[in-house]
Amino acid sequence: MTPDPRLGTRAVRRVIYSQPDIECRVEELGREITTAYPDGDLVLIGLLKGSVFFLTDLARHIRRPLQIDFLVAHSYGKGKVSSGEVRVRYEPSISLAGRHILVVEDIIDSGRTLGFLLDRLRSAGPKSLAVCALLDKRLGAPPPELRFVGFAAPPVFLVGYGLDHAEDFRHLPYIAEVD
């Protein structure tokens, strides 16, 4: 691999999804979502920080009126193993009652974070509630709300395109495996 100046002294093992792979799949997902919501108004809820690149790219491929808000929750800390504890730091400020909510998530691992947040969003009384995840490691049973998946990911630790390890690597335009 030619050295990437974005990495500095850090290293990745190998690229799993290249920038063109991601661009192509995100465009397709945008088309799938456009078709799936014929009656229009959508609220995209991005789970920060991991979904930020995915959400902004995806939103521009959805040919419907939509609004964007965010949820900030933490389950991982600095390690690579899910702690199981979820803490919410910011909740959507726009009204969700009676709206089509589409949660935009970077990666589903155990699914614990998502399960917890879906319970919370369900209590806001949306018209519909669905999830679009860029990557699905399929470790646990997927929630019934998981309607759109970019890639079925291998069970390795991935960074880039929003995904971090201890806050590094988020800005890589590709997704790579780290040691």
Q: Which residues bind Mg ion (CB under 5 A)?
A: 50, 106
DSSP state letters, the chain: -PPPGGGTT---SEEEE-HHHHHHHHHHHHHHHHHH-TT--EEEEEEETTTHHHHHHHHTT--S-EEEEEEEEES-TTSSS--S--EEEE---S--TTSEEEEEEEEESSSHHHHHHHHHHHTT--SEEEEEEEEE---SPPPTTEEEEEEE--SS-EEBTTB-BTTBSTT-SSEEE--
User: How many CB atoms lie under 10 A from the CB of residue 123?
Assistant: 9
Q: Binding to ligand IMP by residue 37, rule CB under 6 A?
A: no
- Residues comprising the chain, all counted: 179
State in angstroms the smallest separation of the CB of 121 from Mg ion: 15
Active site residue 179: no
Q: Binding to ligand IMP by residue 157, rule CB under 6 A?
A: yes
State in angstroms the smallest separation of the CB of 173 from ligand IMP: 16
Binding residue for ligand IMP, selected from 12, 26, 45, 50, defined by CB under 6 A: 50
**Binding residues among 65-84 for ligand IMP as defined by CB under 6 A:** 75-76, 82
**Window of 4-12, 19-27, 94-102, 158-166 that interacts with ligand IMP by CB under 6 A:** 158-166
Q: Which of 57, 106, 109, 164 is an active site residue?
A: 109
**Binding residues among 73-132 for ligand IMP as defined by CB under 6 A:** 75-76, 82, 105-114
User: How many CB atoms lie under 10 A from the CB of residue 3?
Assistant: 8
State in angstroms the smallest separation of the CB of 114 from ligand IMP: 6
Closest to ligand IMP by CB, 12 or 62: 12
Q: Which positions touch ligand IMP (CB under 6 A)?
A: 50, 75-76, 82, 105-114, 157-159, 163
Active-site amino acid positions: 109
